[in-house]
Amino acid sequence: MQLRWFRSKFSEAVLIYEDRGEQPEELMAQYAGRTSLVTELLGQGQAAVLIRDVQASDDGPYSCFFREGEFYEEASLELKVAGVGSAPRVRITGPEEDGVRVECAASGWFPKPQVHWRGGGGAQFRAFSEAHAQDARGLFSVEAALVVRDRSVGNVTCSLHNPILGQEKAVAIFIPEPFFPKAPLWKLAFWVSLAALGLLLLGAGYCAHREHSTRLRARSDRETLLRAKEEDRRAKEAALTATDELQAQLDWRQEKFQACDGPLSAGPVTLDPGSADSSLVVSHERRRVTLKETCEDSGSSSSVLGLEGITAGRCHWEVEVPDGEGSEWVLGVCREDVKRTGWYTESLEKGFWVVGKFEAGFCPCTKDVTPLTLRQLPRRVGVFLDYSKGDVSFYNMTDGSHIFSFPRASFSGTLFPYFRLKSGVGSLTICPMVGAPAGLPVPLNNSPCEEPLSPPGSSADGAESPLLPRKGEAPPRHCP
């Protein structure tokens, strides 16, 4: 077993546990002697690392890599470091312009603190200057300056707030009224005259503005009505265009994927009972797979492959999927050498090009699982495979909408259709191409597929690991 904690690069090691002991030789210098493995949690499947003497430089991303035999997994997290520094030091530096300048300074904070100035009544001052600096340890110091022009403000408070911890330190200072500079008499007379002139102009312009605003309001109403009609017309045209383009793309795929240039060209996709898990039942016609009644949750290895391998050409098949609440399933294609025993998860990196319905929603099985936004949940999913172009795409054959396309790949070896039922009631059924030769697409909204069932063989259990679910425990219901 190997366990490695590292920063942004695999070589930036924080802790390495291998050969039943920690390996300090490859650690980064800044973590030497500061990290250790919490061994008492290892048997519980928790690979925890302890960092002592926390520093500001410890802030940021970390990754954990675990390997045991052929199984490996990786996870990432973001560590937030926070520290509260000194209380602010507030002082009056003298008059400035028509007010009093007050300065606030503090040091030893991490991350950069938020500065707030408040008056005696609790009202905040928005306009002030602020400067920050970091020392050799990465801690922040701050200097903020405020010019107070209100003589009646009384107390002024400077507070520093740590955004992570939510802690705050504040200091208040009283500004006596004599500290404020006196305004010259000519300024007072100027402002009185300006106020009187403003009242006269306001009264004279009110009547003209009222008549003018009435004409503008009528014109604005007409323009608003015309814009609304034009926007509605454009929205309808855009919706029709998007629908036509999507339907044209689906029609093109159906036309181009009429048959497979390879092993599948001799007939439609069918299931291989020999590849099915013992918790599954495959129908006599090999087109339908269902969970046995005793299997409420098949998270271990309840999958089955298509009988025919794909090595070239273009292929298209459609699968009727269950829509009951709690039903979880996965379908698509996979490489011939993928692991399907014991507890496993599907992902692009492990040779699976699949989508599925999970507790989190309908999502592709990629490294970063993001549920898809669908205008309608599919009852029938179309799988389109272009081996030479490395294209795997999925369509909702109920309404003709596009579900998801994987990035173009470079295929080698044999690919097989892949089907998996994880939980719930229902079955996955490969739909016949009604009214068309084998391999041709079928019209949208065609009838469901029904047929009798027969049981397959059984499969072997996978190996256990301290960091893997033990036998009898339910694995997580999500993509890796």
**Of 478 and 424, which is predicted with more confidence?**
424
pLDDT tens sequence across 176-188: 877 787 766 656 6
The predicted pLDDT at position 7 comes to 93
The answer, yes or no, to whether residue 229 has pLDDT greater than 90, is: no
The answer, yes or no, to whether residue 253 has pLDDT greater than 90, is: no
- CB atoms inside a 10 Å sphere around CB 422: 22
CB-based contact 469:345 (threshold 8 Å): no
pLDDT tens sequence across 391-439: 999 999 988 889 999 999 999 999 999 999 988 778 999 998 654 333 3
User: What does the pLDDT average to over 156-166?
Assistant: 93
- CB atoms inside a 10 Å sphere around CB 68: 16
Q: Where are the alpha helices (DSSP H) in 10-72?
A: none
What is the C-alpha separation between 154 and 203, in angstroms, rounded? 38
pLDDT-derived band at 384 (thresholds 50, 70, 90) equals very high
The predicted pLDDT at position 317 comes to 95
| pTM (2 d.p.) | 0.43
User: What does the pLDDT average to over 210-215?
Assistant: 85
**Of 478 and 99, which is predicted with more confidence?**
99
The answer, yes or no, to whether residue 251 has pLDDT greater than 70, is: no
The answer, yes or no, to whether residue 94 has pLDDT greater than 60, is: yes
The predicted pLDDT at position 246 comes to 64
pLDDT tens sequence across 31-70: 998 999 888 887 888 889 999 999 999 999 999 998 988 8
Q: Using alpha carbons, select from 390, 276, 392 the residue that is nearest to residue 333.
A: 392
The answer, yes or no, to whether residue 460 has pLDDT greater than 50, is: no
**Of 269 and 245, which is predicted with more confidence?**
269
Backbone angles phi, psi at 225, to 5 degrees: -65, -40
Rounded percentage of the chain residues whose pLDDT exceeds 90: 42
The answer, yes or no, to whether residue 299 has pLDDT greater than 80, is: no
Q: Where are the alpha helices (DSSP H) in 309-370?
A: none
The predicted pLDDT at position 21 comes to 86
Amino acid in the structure at residue 43:
G
User: What does the pLDDT average to over 299-307?
Assistant: 81
The predicted pLDDT at position 41 comes to 84
What is the C-alpha separation between 206 and 264, in angstroms, rounded? 83
CB-based contact 120:202 (threshold 8 Å): no
The answer, yes or no, to whether residue 276 has pLDDT greater than 80, is: yes
User: Comparing 22-26, 403-407, 460-464, which segment has the lowest mean pLDDT?
Assistant: 460-464
User: What does the pLDDT average to over 203-215?
Assistant: 83
The predicted pLDDT at position 449 comes to 56
The answer, yes or no, to whether residue 350 has pLDDT greater than 90, is: yes
Q: Using alpha carbons, select from 17, 56, 49 the residue that is nearest to residue 34.
A: 49
The predicted pLDDT at position 207 comes to 78
User: Comparing 125-129, 239-243, 265-269, 419-423, which segment has the lowest mean pLDDT?
Assistant: 265-269
What is the C-alpha separation between 92 and 102, in angstroms, rounded? 5
What is the C-alpha separation between 421 and 299, in angstroms, rounded? 8
User: Comparing 100-109, 353-362, 420-429, 449-458, which segment has the lowest mean pLDDT?
Assistant: 449-458
Rounded percentage of the chain residues whose pLDDT exceeds 70: 81
The predicted pLDDT at position 259 comes to 43
The answer, yes or no, to whether residue 114 has pLDDT greater than 50, is: yes
> ∠ CA 27-28-33 to the nearest 5 degrees?
65
The answer, yes or no, to whether residue 462 has pLDDT greater than 80, is: no
